[in-house]
Amino acid sequence: MTQKTKRHNDPALAEARRNQVLCAAADCFRRKGYHGAGMAEISKTAGMSAGHIYNYFASKEAIIESIVERDMEEMFSIFKEFADKPGDRVTVLLDGLDRGVERHTDLSQGALDLEMLAEAARNEKVANLLRESDSHARDSMRELLVGERGPLQGTALEEVNARIEVMFSVMGGLLLRKMLNPDLDINELLKALRPTMKTLLLPFE
């Protein structure tokens, strides 16, 4: 791969190079941990000089920021898809459950997510990035659930927030399940997960 590629002139090429760095960095963070993966390692994995990488990302922090942003964009496009689907929200969300489970039991994505979470426990900047992204995700989910009923207040707001916490807890917990039980049967899991999610989406008795 030539290191002398003309930069910034071609936006598509610049985007491809940025992606090349993000994929290499994700790979290094998984293998060595965020802390253990230096720019030299990322540069070697990406097949680009460190100098070339610095044209796109000022630091390792800028790289992880972009990884979190990319995940957020993916998440927003899924929420938008759900919002655009006709039919009641409960059916739309239950129909989308398979896809959510698939995303959250992908071991390669899961390893990166776990590494970012472990790093967040000791790195306030990474923690803030993930918290901001999570806060946006909760907002999107609340909007999807509440919809035209307009902004909630008081007890109703607290209740929907608590339900979202439990939903996110189940889905986030799936990252751990596939890692801890390699024999996990996704189809069997879905049979128990669907009624659980239904409980969270319908009014409590």
Contact status: 195 vs a copy of itself (CB under 8 A): yes
Q: How many CB atoms lie within 10 A of CB 58?
A: 11
**Quick one: which of 13, 16, 50, 176 contacts a copy of itself (CB under 8 A)?**
176
Q: What share of the chain is helix, strand, coil (3-state, %, to 5)?
A: 75, 0, 25
Q: Number of residues in contact with a copy of itself, rule: CB under 8 A?
A: 58
Residues 37 and 68 sit within 8 Å (Cβ to Cβ): no
**Quick one: which of 2, 12, 121, 124 contacts a copy of itself (CB under 8 A)?**
121
Contact status: 125 vs a copy of itself (CB under 8 A): no
**Quick one: which of 45, 46, 110, 145 contacts a copy of itself (CB under 8 A)?**
110
Q: Which residues contact 145 (CB under 8 A, 6 or more apart)?
A: 89, 160, 163, 164, 201
Buried b (16+ CB within 10 A) or exposed e, 177-194: bbeeeeeeeeeebeeebe
Choice between 21 and 164, CB closer to a copy of itself: 164
Residues 41 and 28 sit within 8 Å (Cβ to Cβ): yes
> Where does this chain touch a copy of itself (CB under 8 A) — which range of 9-17, 54-62, 84-92, 191-199?
191-199
> Where does this chain touch a copy of itself (CB under 8 A) — which range of 10-18, 48-56, 84-92, 179-187?
179-187
Instruction: State the burial class of residue 98 (Cβ atoms within 10 Å of its Cβ: 0-12, 13-18, 19+).
Output: middle
How far is Cα 159 from Cα 200, in angstroms, rounded to an integer?
A: 10
Contact status: 67 vs a copy of itself (CB under 8 A): no
Residues that bind a copy of itself (CB under 8 A): 30-33, 35-36, 107, 110-111, 114-115, 117-122, 127, 130-131, 134-135, 138, 158-159, 161-163, 165-166, 168-177, 179-182, 184-185, 188-189, 191-193, 195-196, 198-200, 204-205
